[in-house]
Chain A
Amino acid sequence: MTGETREQFKVLVVDLPAGRGAITSLEGRDSLAGGSGLTAMLFDRYGLPDRPWDDPEQPLIFAIGPLTGYFPLMSKTVCAFKSPYHDQYAESHAGGRSALSLRFAGFDALVIRGKALAPSCLSVGSRHLELKDVHFLWGMDLLRTGKMLRRMYEGSGHRSILRIGPAGENGSAMACINVDTYRHFGRLGCGAVMGAKNLKGIVILGDGSSPLPEGKAYPKLFTEVYRKMTDTDMMEKYHNFGTPINMAILNGISALPIRNLQKTSDPGIEGITGETFARDTLLRNAACAGCPVGCVHLGFVRERFMEENRYLYRQVSYDHEPIFAAGAMLHVTNAFSVLTLLDTVEREGLDIMSAGVALAWATEALEKGIVTTRETIVPLKFGDETAYREGFHHLGAASNDFYRLLAQGTMKAAEHYGGADFACVLGQEMAGYATGEVFFVSQALGLRHSHLDAGGYSYDQKDKEPDVDGAVRFLVQDEQARVLLTSMVSCLFARGVYGDQVLSDCLRSLGYLNLADGLGDVSRNVRKLRWRTRLRTGFDPRTVSIPKRFLEVETWRGRIDSAYLNALKDAYAGAILALGEEDA
């Protein structure tokens, strides 16, 4: 591998109205690595901070990292866009086959600009670029769309199919982009960005190849890393029960959001723990391409469609977050009911976490008389699977003014109808951890408003005394370590294996010598650039507020300490401003 090509990013920039693309080579590898760093750099170049998210010129960006495909679990793609949720810069991450497909298509990033003239599907590969009119798929649910696209394009197994459902077409700020059936770019509404571009699907053909470095060093290192992923118990958690193992753990320490966060523990959770799912519903496992761990757990739903014992069944992927959102939060405590709801949400092309938390709020709003069934159409009731099936459909279809507004974000609906106190929103609809002050602040202010921005949920569980400075220091440092991985772009489940030394060895074995030597600087650069990009699009961490419901939470440590929470919020906001304002 020679130096020149390695050091530049190869980016395919597609102009949708023209149905054409251009390859651009960009400097920046040594300072930004790829992934999160690359998307921020590309948004700097192609994004329009002052124009709204649905301006046709706003870019939709997908990027991978220098180790993608070369090492195990380097299996994710970063999607960046201006979010319909808050009209600010946002990132969402997904796996499936998207990352390896981009690698084999030969690009470090794909940038999509403009709006297609008709509902279209874009397909790209190492020797291929085409925009197809697919107006006949517009309005079709997400699963059926996937089936149709699968039939329309070649390359089964060696390609990635990204698509949206009705929610994305409707401009819902909760619309996801589905990747290869079981994975998602879930958060902050990137599905709507595709919809606004008249893009129903994107097919990435992984049909190219590249030579590997000469000598034994690279394959030897690969095998060492691979063995760590498969032979040691490091990944057991993800392999065995998967992330749903958290359901019982969090419930046990009174840190699981239940019934719109009115409770944090409930014996009924027994019906939807990871153990229950594995015992009763697990059909099989699947993996992202390039990942031997195979954390994807597939359960099934079975439906009687005729009196005479006629059944159909479908496979549904589950994880901790979906079970929290469609189960605990709605107090649906039967595993099969949860899977049925996940299947419904999937068809609409909604982000399950946002959709579940939104309906949890709507249910409480209905209980309290803030809204009536004139708004909710169905009598939403905690625990009522049938009502929620309809509710999710209305949310995806934006059936009336209420659902249209709710689909823009729970807080938007609460501002209009009232009930902001009990909206479980931390920047966006909360993730499934009610561990305490550090997590609440971390998600509310974090760049992705995600539980994965930093390990605040684990800091809370270490049972420390309130310590504002210590907690802020932890959040800032942990974020820096994570952005290094999301610039590579590794699955965050592999963070135990990919320490700085291993990452640096991996890069060196492929000839990225400068990058291998400069990881400390790279992670600082990326963190700074991301925050600068975010602030430039209007984010002000000082104005973020944390709804009252979060102050009422009781965990195993007792009541939330609101003074601590507020002090932490102010201090972290200050730290973020400082990070983003430094000269870059």
Chain B
Amino acid sequence: MKILTAPRMERCIGCHSCSLACARLVHKMLSWDMAGIRIASSGGLSTGFEARTCLACLPAPCAAACPTGAYAQRKGGGVIVRKNLCIRCGKCADACPVDAVFLAPDGEPFVCIHCGRCVVYCPHDCLELTDVGTEGAEESNARESAS
């Protein structure tokens, strides 16, 4: 089981190539928000950047909170997304402890599905698709957190 990690964010130049790639390739949108990874300055540009993305929690609070099963637990952490089941109640976003689920103005939730398509677009190799086996959770402390 692979998950997206952001272990080298100190190198980030704030180009947004990763989030634009996710929006373009996964969601077919031109957007800063409709993406599984979002880049923010960590307190003004002089302090560098942070990536907001799914930490692949196991168990995932968003999946537990989802009343329709649109967000379901993914083996090894994170969620499987079934958009056709989603009623746009926003409970997943509320439940996410690290604000990784973006709610579009119409209520549609966006979260990282750990596909790795963004990784190759990062010019500074900040991101990585990491194999976590199926246990996953034990390793989560070793992973660079999203902030």
Contacts and interface: CB of A to CB of B under 8 A. Distances in A.
Interface of A: 69-70, 72, 100, 103-104, 127, 146-147, 150, 156-158, 180-182, 206-212, 214, 219, 222, 226, 230, 284-294, 296, 298, 314-315
A292 B31 contact: no
A457 B133 CA distance: 58
B15 A157 contact: no
A294 B13 contact: yes
Nearest to A213: B28
Nearest to A207: B33
B37 to A, nearest CB: 11
20 contacts: A156-B40, A157-B38, A157-B39, A158-B33, A158-B38, A181-B44, A182-B45, A209-B29, A209-B30, A209-B32, A212-B28, A212-B30, A226-B17, A230-B123, A284-B48, A286-B13, A286-B45, A287-B15, A291-B15, A292-B17
A226 B118 CA distance: 13
Interface in B26-56: 28-34, 38-41, 44-46, 48-49
Contacts of B44: 146-147, 150, 181
Nearest to A70: B30
Given A219-B24, A292-B121, A294-B13, A206 B32 contact: yes
Contacts, number: 92
Interface residues of B, number: 30
A208 B104 CA distance: 9
B20 interface: yes
B42 to A, nearest CB: 9
A286 B39 CA distance: 13
B63 to A, nearest CB: 25
What does DSSP make chain A's interface, helix, strand, loop or mixed?
A: loop
Contacts of B34: 209
A157 B104 contact: no
A285 B28 CA distance: 30
Contacts of A206: 32
B88 to A, nearest CB: 16
Contacts of B90: none
Nearest to B15: A287
Contacts of B25: 219
Given A209-B23, A211-B29, A226-B121, A157 B13 contact: no
Interface of B: 13-17, 20, 23-25, 28-34, 38-41, 44-46, 48-49, 104-105, 121, 123-124
Contacts of A212: 24, 28-30
Contact of B15 (A180, A294, A314): A294
Contacts of A230: 123
A97 to B, nearest CB: 8
B23 A158 contact: no
Nearest to B16: A289
A373 to B, nearest CB: 36
A210 B30 CA distance: 5
Among A150, A286, A293, max chain B CB count under 10 A is at A286
Contacts of A290: 15-17, 20
A31 to B, nearest CB: 24
Contacts of B20: 69, 290
B32 A292 contact: no
Nearest to B122: A292
Given A286-B13, A289-B14, A289-B16, A181 B33 contact: no
A72 B17 contact: yes
Given A69-B30, A284-B48, A209 B41 contact: no
Contact of B14 (A103, A208, A287): A287
Contact of B46 (A207, A209, A222, A315): A315
Contacts of A69: 20, 30
Given A287-B15, A315-B46, A292 B30 contact: no
Nearest to A158: B32
Contacts of B14: 157, 286-287, 289
B114 to A, nearest CB: 20
Contacts of B46: 181, 298, 314-315
A210 B24 contact: no
Given A70-B30, A286-B13, A292-B121, 12 more contacts: A156-B40, A157-B49, A158-B32, A181-B44, A181-B45, A212-B28, A212-B30, A289-B16, A291-B15, A294-B124, A296-B13, A314-B46
A157 B33 CA distance: 10
Given A158-B38, A211-B29, A100 B15 contact: no
A147 B14 CA distance: 18
A342 B16 CA distance: 27
A294 B123 contact: yes
**Nearest 6 Cβ contacts at the A-B interface:** A157-B40, A209-B31, A287-B15, A294-B13, A292-B123, A287-B13
Among A100, A147, A158, A315, max chain B CB count under 10 A is at A158
